[in-house]
Amino acid sequence: MKIRELPVIATIIVLAAVAIMIALGFWQLGRLNEKEAQLAFYANAQNDQSEVGYPLDEKSIEAALYRRSRFDCTQVAAIRSVAGTSATGRAGWAHKAECILPGGASGEVALGWSRDPQAPEYIGGEVAGIVAPGGRIVADPPLAGLDPLAKPDPADIPNNHLAYAGQWFFFALTALVIFFLAVRRRKQS
């Protein structure tokens, strides 16, 4: 098959799509390196036993993730129960409290785990634990007479950028194969 025999517009469209897919594959490979660095940072933070101030904005949450922190829950605004896992791996309920902090800011604490979905009695006080994604503190030790929740673990964060890169490269190859099969079939007709 000669290049002059290829349909011009279809060839341009397919080659542009393939170029975009290959670029996306390389972008995912770059994201893989960024994610590995981020996970290594979190693993180091998890091993750091020093305490950080409670993060009140997105930037400080990112820097405080998986580190120990504390705040004073001066008032409990609400308590809710969501599905959760205990420190021993049992399924049940995680009980979370929305707290008002000194100065009027708010913070969330995962108080602990129980088999009972009924929210526990909790009136506030000193909260200490580990900063989890979203900025909540997973209480360590647990509060309100609850059992410990599973500690937040950076190993739970998916790192599937290599698979995404492979998908984009596969899509590009598939587009080329389909295009050339279609052109060949068209030529044979």
Q: How confident is the model at residue 63 (pLDDT cuts 50, 70, 90)?
A: confident
CA-wise closest residue to 77 among 111, 110, 53, 101: 101
Mean pLDDT of 41-59: 87
* Bridge partner residues of 94 (DSSP): 82, 113
pLDDT above 90: residue 169: yes
pLDDT at 156: 86
30 Cβ contact partners less than 8 Å away, ≥ 6 residues apart: none
Helix (H) or strand (E) holding 13: helix 8-47
Cβ neighbour number for residue 98 with a 10 Å cutoff: 16
Q: pLDDT tens, 98-138? A: 999 998 899 999 999 999 999 999 999 999 999 999 889 99
pLDDT above 60: residue 66: yes
Q: Which two tokens mark 119?
A: 């929210």
Domain ranges of the chain: 6-38+163-188, 67-152
pLDDT at 2: 65
Q: How confident is the model at residue 45 (pLDDT cuts 50, 70, 90)?
A: confident
Least confident of 42-46, 76-80, 84-88: 42-46
Q: In terms of C-beta density within 10 A (0-12 exposed, 13-18 middle, 19 or more buried), how is residue 52 classed?
A: middle
pLDDT at 188: 79
CA distance 171 to 15: 12
- What is the DSSP pairing of strand 51-53 with strand 68-73? parallel
